[in-house]
Structure 1
Amino acid sequence: MGFSKGLFRRASQFKSLGFVIDLKLGVISKARMCHRVRAKTLQVLQILLLNNHQIVSKQRLLEAIWQDVVVQEQVLTQSIKELRDIFGADAIKTFPKAGYQWVAPVRPLVSVKASVLVLASCCAIVIALLSSLVATPHKAHLNIAFLPVENAIPDEIHQWVPLRGMEYLSQQLQHHSDLQVIGHDQVLYALEYSKATASLQPTEDMLVRLQRKLAANLIVLTRITGYPQDYQLHYTLVFEHSIEKGVEFAQTIEQSFDKLIAMLAKRYAEQYQLTGKNWHSDFSNEAFARGVELYLQQAYQQAIPLLSSALQVEPNLLAARRYLAASYANLDRQGEAIAILQHTIELPSIENTRELIRAHLMIGYLLINWPQGEPRVKELQDAQSHIEQAQKLAQNQQDKLFIAYTYEELGKIKRLQGQFEQATQLITQALEYHQSFYGQYGQTAALIELARVKAEQGQFSLANQYLKQAQDIADDNGAPANQIWVLLAKADIARLQNELIKAEQYAVHAQSIARHSDQPHLISRVEDWFNDRSPYSLN
């Protein structure tokens, strides 16, 4: 029996493969099973059902459903997977390079009776669920598995992170909440069974196998990056039918883990003692996390709409504001970057002092390294004013990392002003702070700046001594970024001495390290040197 297109268009309920689909309620039911799907996935289903007579292109789906946000094709793939998990793999056919088509038999339901049946079925299930919740809280039914933490810190002193990080997350969440956390030893066994390793992030197929093997309805993937005193923990929550991403910032790795544990417990546990204030917005965190991912891939233009969207939902998400400013700066739109950071400074109340420190410091950094067309003397004075304000805030908070950063930038200003003695004193103070931190490679930036000061004074022997110290620290810690910075500084100083062949050799060595590291921002930084462009960027 055929149905007119008009009937399909008017219908909000359909029947297919024994399922009753209610697009208005967002419910898919069959027998005593009732599924609720995400809003975006429901929209995908609606478009496929209403156009089941034809192939619907991926571009059409993306433009219709994610029209206001720049997204990758993966979000559509995830929605298709969620629908296939419910209806079976054969309900939706993939046409490579063309799109998708709903191929399962489907008919519209237009009677009131069908609507009542759906509601009655779902209500019965809800009542049964509520009855079971009297004895056991629903949140406690969540079985959580943490996979080994992906270590993306560019050194060799954080090799403990993958397994010890997984153990820490598992044990702390289990100890401090009533959630069901699958033991890390059981997870490692399942990884071995699934032919995965602790050092590799699992594929989608591996995740499905792991969920089945562990009986886990939430798998947590984590990735730690950054530097000592300034870490970022990127997380992905993999549920049975959805994925969510986010980022946590902290001065230590353990603090970033604790923030993730607190977020999970606050959202899903019945019993947990939280400390401090946490903002929460599913969309802003998701958009922000995806924006940061694109930023780290140097896809700055694509990152901007996502970061902007996150800020529209959560205006006080200052980290998103910072990444947005950095994206503009790295696209040579420094004026827009400074305007965004200036707006951060002017916000009426900022609880996150470190973000306020960053805003002042970044404005100073931009004014130092990218002249904006103002008289240079005034520009450096403005930069100094912002950095001194950042230093004052950092000293009030006893934030030694950012005190060190401010001394470095103030020293750079004095070098550019030709005040070499003051520059040396300021940078030496920065070096002393860095020497107190875990992980020596923070010292390399200060040593490089000292070398530049001495080189501009014509003291090349002393400059080379500083660079050798920096090189030794970078090599000892296996930090490719720092090795490259040192080599490019050597190349600059060799060029200053008109030793062009030696300069080229240093730069070629830096290029080799960058390509071996496979990190886009390092590769582009060396390319900028060869093309006589500013090697500076905001990270």
Structure 2
Amino acid sequence: MRFQIDDKVVDTVTGIVKSADSETSIRAKTLQVLNYLIEHKSDIVAKQDVIKHVWDDVVVQEQILTQSIKEIRDLLGPQVIKTYSRKGYQWVAPLKAEHSETYSTQQRKLTSKRPVINKQQIWLGASLVVLLLLVLVFVLLFNRSESVMKVAFLPVQNDVQDSVHNWVPLRGQEQLSQGLSHASELAVIDTDHVLYAIERLTPEQHLAYRSGALYPFREKLDADLIVHTRLTGFPEDFQLHYRLQTPFGLEQGIEFSSSVNGAFEQLIEKIAARFDTYQPSNETSYASQFSNEAFARGVALYLEQEYQAAKPMLETALNAEADLFAARRYLAASYANTNQISTAIKLLNENIERAKASNQQGRELLRAYLMIGYLQINWPQLLNREHELLSAEQYIEQAKQLAEQLQDELFIAYSYEELGKVKRLQGDYAASAAHLNNALQYHQRFQGDYGQTAALIELAKVSNAQQSESLTQDYLAQAYAIASRSKATANLIWVLLAKADIARSRLQHQDANAFANQAKEIAQQSDDPMLIARVAAWFNDSPVYTVN
């Protein structure tokens, strides 16, 4: 059937959309979505019903359907489909049926115009076809060694646990693909083709892909390089983990950036520089990537709570590249998590000395100052606690001064938070509240308001120390509302554990366990080892260090 929508004619069988000056093909799965919406145009159809009908043989995320809806709107106009929040979609555009000519009429027209071809013309045509085929084979063989590398980006795995970055998987994939196309001569496979390849994976291949394997796409996409990315971190402080699968092996690494777009641009630049002069060879040239590879493996082990296994990988990375500051930071965190605090602080001080010597006074220097202060606040090592807190304050104050010089507002906010903790522990509640309110003001400037929860939790602890129960509950309620609104799983857990801590400090053990069990349920649903470990630490009454 063919329909006319405004100035376009849509063939719902072939998937061809024609206008006065163009002709476009609709992707197969998107065409099925279009037909399903048209067939049920009198109803609001639920997202899961569409997914079940179109992708009945595979498990897919909702973003796949969202992409198809976007494609339909891009082709036919934004007004053709109406979105009903939490309900689904409905086709709302009027349809005018277009009836094509009958088959017999078309055949008569074709027959009346068919020319008479003699045997000599047939032999001549056949000879030309053979000649063209030989030329084509020769060209392909001759140019085979100079073929352009084909690159495919998979949808970005979004591990930023909030509602602000739901756009990342598909829009991020598109941004990486288009960015590399503009930045290099590499042949980037279009995202529609990649998404279609995902749809065509068998259940076994889907299971392998979801477990981290990239090999299912080699045959499906005929790509020389498969790029898988995973976004973690928090607003203003992101990490883009990447894995590059080539015919010769797997390479991985991490890009750090204050913005998602910045992390994407850094990866695009790295891939363009790394592979734009790609020449197929059995000899690998990954020596320069060795330290980054070991670092990435070490971080992966760290995030899985495998601290002992992470240490040798991170140490290997440092042996290959002594100024890989992030590797030394993760190594320090690994030592901290195995209760070797003095070793952790020693490693962080080494980062400070190296950063100053090389004049690299950026975020890694800021992190080193803050982490030492954090460790001294949370893991008392000295008998003289007053002196230890004073040392922590001095490190954090250095971080704040440097952050102000660099105009790094995120780390100014972090510094105020830690100074607020120090002053609370010193019993100077007025100074603590002042620092924490300063932190709140900075966090309110950033995208995603859930960054405010840490300062609000600390303000609740200050109020609790001053025995102001109503103000304590007010701060906790604000923090919980912000975390819930943003669907920030980690922050929800921090708030619930803070409630549990405060209830326990008041000997309200039943309430404390109830809050902690809520946090435990959320952590288990998230399937995040860091969050699960944090809750388990509360029940064991032991601290756990996590990289922020």
The residue number in structure 2 matching 1:212 is 219
1:388 aligns with 2:397: yes
Q: Among 319, 325, 341, which residue is 2:326 paired with?
A: 319
The residue number in structure 2 matching 1:427 is 436
Q: Give the conservation status (yes or no) of the 8 Å contact 2:205–2:216.
A: no
In 2: Cα distance, 1:199 partner to 1:330 partner:
35
The residue number in structure 2 matching 1:436 is 445
Residues 247-296 of structure 1 show CA distances to partners (whole Å, capped at 9, x for unaligned) of 1111111111111100011112259xxxxxxx993110110000000000
The residue number in structure 1 matching 2:527 is 518
Q: Give the conservation status (yes or no) of the 8 Å contact 1:350–1:356.
A: no
Report the residue type matching 2:336 in the other structure.
A
CA shift, 1:537, in A, is: 4.1
CA shift, 1:499, in A, is: 1.8
Tell me: CA distance 1:218–1:426, structure 2 relative to 1, closer, same or farther (3 Å).
same
In 1: Cα distance, 2:324 partner to 2:432 partner:
35
CA shift, 1:525, in A, is: 1.5
Q: Give the conservation status (yes or no) of the 8 Å contact 1:137–1:270.
A: no
Residues 2-33 of structure 1 show CA distances to partners (whole Å, capped at 9, x for unaligned) of xxxxxxxxxxxxxxxxxxxxxxxxxxxxxxxx
Report the residue type matching 1:303 in the other structure.
A
Report the residue type matching 1:304 in the other structure.
K
Bigger mean CA deviation after superposition, 403-412 or 494-503: 494-503
Q: Give the conservation status (yes or no) of the 8 Å contact 1:304–1:327.
A: yes
The residue number in structure 1 matching 2:166 is 159
Tell me: CA distance 1:446–1:196, structure 2 relative to 1, closer, same or farther (3 Å).
farther
Q: Among 197, 215, 232, which residue is 2:239 paired with?
A: 232
1:168 aligns with 2:162: no
Report the residue type matching 1:464 in the other structure.
Q
1:297 aligns with 2:298: no
CA shift, 1:497, in A, is: 2.3
CA shift, 1:159, in A, is: 1.3
1:417 aligns with 2:416: no
1:306 aligns with 2:304: no
The residue number in structure 1 matching 2:375 is 366
CA shift, 1:200, in A, is: 8.0
Q: Give the conservation status (yes or no) of the 8 Å contact 1:451–1:462.
A: yes
1:349 aligns with 2:358: yes
In 2: Cα distance, 1:374 partner to 1:305 partner:
32
In structure 2, list runs of 5 or more residues that go unmatched.
Answer: 1-138, 279-285
Q: What percent of counterpart residues are identical? A: 51
1:238 alignment partner, SS class: strand
CA shift, 1:319, in A, is: 0.6
The residue number in structure 1 matching 2:198 is 191
Report the residue type matching 1:379 in the other structure.
E
Residues 197-223 of structure 1 show CA distances to partners (whole Å, capped at 9, x for unaligned) of 999872699744422232211101111
Q: Give the conservation status (yes or no) of the 8 Å contact 1:329–1:538.
A: no
The residue number in structure 1 matching 2:459 is 450
The residue number in structure 2 matching 1:23 is none
In 1: Cα distance, 2:393 partner to 2:214 partner:
51
The residue number in structure 2 matching 1:243 is 250
Report the residue type matching 1:316 in the other structure.
D
In 1: Cα distance, 2:366 partner to 2:175 partner:
31
Tell me: CA distance 1:282–1:419, structure 2 relative to 1, closer, same or farther (3 Å).
same
1:247 alignment partner, SS class: strand
The residue number in structure 2 matching 1:34 is none
In 1: Cα distance, 2:486 partner to 2:527 partner:
18
In 1: Cα distance, 2:145 partner to 2:407 partner:
43
Report the residue type matching 1:498 in the other structure.
L
Q: Give the conservation status (yes or no) of the 8 Å contact 1:232–1:248.
A: yes
1:147 aligns with 2:154: yes
Tell me: CA distance 1:430–1:200, structure 2 relative to 1, closer, same or farther (3 Å).
farther
Using the size of structure 2 for normalisation, the TM-score is 0.70
In 2: Cα distance, 1:239 partner to 1:433 partner:
43
Q: Give the conservation status (yes or no) of the 8 Å contact 1:191–1:198.
A: no
Higher gyration radius (CA): 2
In 2: Cα distance, 1:160 partner to 1:201 partner:
24
